[in-house]
Amino acid sequence: MSKHFDVAVIGAGPAGYVAAIRAAQLGFSVACVEQWKTPKGDAALGGTCLNVGCIPSKALLESSENYEKVTEKFADHGITVGKVEFDVAKMIARKESVVTKNTKGIEFLFRKNKVTWLKGHGKLAGKSEGGYAIDVSGDAGETVTAKHVIIATGSKARHLPDVPVDNKVICDNEGALSLSAVPKKLGVIGAGVIGLELGSVWRRLGADVTVLEALPSFLAACDEAVAKEAWKIFTKEQGLKINLSVKIGDIVQAKNGVTVFYTDAEGKAQRLECDKLIVSIGRIPNTDNLGLDSVGLKADERGFIPVDGHCRTSVANIFAVGDVVRGPMLAHKGEEEGVMAAELIAGQAGHVNYDTIPWVIYTSPEIAWVGKTEQQLKKDGVAYKVGSFPFSANGRALSQGEPQGFVKVLADERTDRILGVHVLHAHASEQIAEAVLAMEFMAASEDVGRTCHAHPSLSEVMKEAMLGTDKRSIHI
């Protein structure tokens, strides 16, 4: 007899493991199939985010920022240090221990919630009595059945055609998080979130970084005011070289590095010689070898599993969540969808508000936003007002030596409802939470502007920007 579960989740990244835990909390018997193996060969939960994405990149961001603080910022505080050195191997080892703490934490949560971890590749194997069958590869190789299935198989790095990624010289996110030494010259293809975050890490440690981006505009998804200021900071102040409107040609790997041939914005032939190359040109959903056809499902032409606004597929009792479905490829979006799917299975009113999903780019300073950009509002013909407030006018930001950036608020001209909030600052990822909450509660900018914020704190900048929509900021 095969094991039967109320709910089987395929994939234990943030969307899948959260769905599994929530389903278990709701009283279901739950299995979660996960095939991930660490480079040492150990099975691990957490998917891309915990193993080779969000978490390890933040660990390295912190290490490289600490180094830059010591070398460039401590002197301002009257702190003199002797010769400053860093040890890449130790940074990478620390990053790995941070990852392990996180992935082991999910194992603990699975045990606590009695979620059964099925180690191996999960593949749908058609309908079965009482639901669906799932073949689980791996050492034990077994077939289980489940009444409800949540597909949360995530995504993988998109590579350039005919450019093999060896994760030693030509890297995607995985290799870029495990370099054993700082490259002298680092090339990055794609000025998106991964390219900018990882490009910044290695630049801070001394690499000469050149980013090649196909699009003519920088950070096209951001509010233009933020993109413009970020461009100035990253290129002029920090020395990141970013070339827009490039067309990548041949990429030739030699023994000691790689040459990227490309045409620049003027159409001139150029070449970039580098020791290492990061290819960060987006991600593609993991729908291969998933047995979708066995249950009557089909991925769309881009590989995504079609779902409705509640992550239901076209097949009864099968949901799909996270990077494998439409919408931004963000861990927290997947988590919300995982919770929604589990709650809908339980007959509850699971729901995700896609209009209030925050975006964060972990550069230094960070970029975070929620809701509409000014250019979107203009395009949609919405009448709006703007409030903006710089961190350079905030006492706490000045004390911390982090005066760069601003908060920009867009509110409806007539109703004052907050439509979008954009933050450029060292700690933007934390500050955006207040704006998300305000928008979730459909607040007017006046609601936040009249809310008492602690002094001195960075949060006062949010309040002042909200007051700014009515031209009543106090400190500017």
Active site residues: 455
Q: Which is nearer to ligand NAI, 430 or 446 (CB)?
A: 430
Q: Which is nearer to ligand NAI, 296 or 327 (CB)?
A: 327
What residues make contact with ligand NAI under the rule CB under 6 A?
Answer: 53, 189-195, 197, 212-215, 248, 280-283, 328-330, 360-362
Task: Please give the helix or strand (H or E) that residue 9 lies within, else none.
Answer: strand 4-10
Q: Which is nearer to ligand NAI, 100 or 243 (CB)?
A: 243
Phi, psi of 444 (to 5 degrees): -90, 160
- Give me the DSSP letters along 261-294: EEE-TTS-EEEEEESEEEE-S-EEE--TTS-GGG
d(C-alpha 316, C-alpha 225), whole Å? 45
Q: Which is nearer to ligand NAI, 361 or 418 (CB)?
A: 361
Q: Which is nearer to ligand NAI, 120 or 327 (CB)?
A: 327
Instruction: Provide, rounded to whole angstroms, the least separation between the CB of residue 214 and ligand NAI.
Output: 4
d(C-alpha 151, C-alpha 458), whole Å? 40
Q: What six digits make up the tokens of 272? A: 């970039």
Report strand pairing: 241-243 vs 318-320. unpaired
Q: Positive or negative CA dihedral for 140, 143, 144, 148?
A: positive
Compute, in degrees rounded to 10, the torsion defined by CA atoms 433, 242, 55, 14. 70
Instruction: Provide, rounded to whole angstroms, the least separation between the CB of residue 315 and ligand NAI.
Output: 26
Instruction: Provide, rounded to whole angstroms, the least separation between the CB of residue 407 and ligand NAI.
Output: 19
Q: Which is nearer to ligand NAI, 152 or 194 (CB)?
A: 194
Residue matched to tokens 């998917």: 47
Instruction: Provide, rounded to whole angstroms, the least separation between the CB of residue 39 and ligand NAI.
Output: 20
Q: What six digits make up the tokens of 64? A: 């490289």
Instruction: Label residue 444 left, alpha or beta by phi (over 0 means left) and psi (-120 to 50 means alpha).
Output: beta
Instruction: Provide, rounded to whole angstroms, the least separation between the CB of residue 444 and ligand NAI.
Output: 28
d(C-alpha 108, C-alpha 265), whole Å? 52
Q: Which is nearer to ligand NAI, 190 or 322 (CB)?
A: 190
* Burial (CB count within 10 angstroms: exposed 0-12, middle 13-18, buried 19+), residue 116: middle
Instruction: Provide, rounded to whole angstroms, the least separation between the CB of residue 64 and ligand NAI.
Output: 16
- Give me the DSSP letters along 29-51: -EEEEE--B-TTS-B-SSHHHHH
Instruction: Provide, rounded to whole angstroms, the least separation between the CB of residue 61 and ligand NAI.
Output: 10
- Give me the DSSP letters along 150-212: EE---EEE---TT----SSSEE-HHHHT--SS--SEEEEE--SHHHHHHHHHHHHTT-EEEEE
Instruction: Provide, rounded to whole angstroms, the least separation between the CB of residue 330 and ligand NAI.
Output: 5
β-strand partners of 284: 156
Taking CB atoms, the residue at the shortest distance from ligand NAI is 192
Q: Which is nearer to ligand NAI, 344 or 357 (CB)?
A: 357
- At position 88, the amino acid (one-letter code) is V
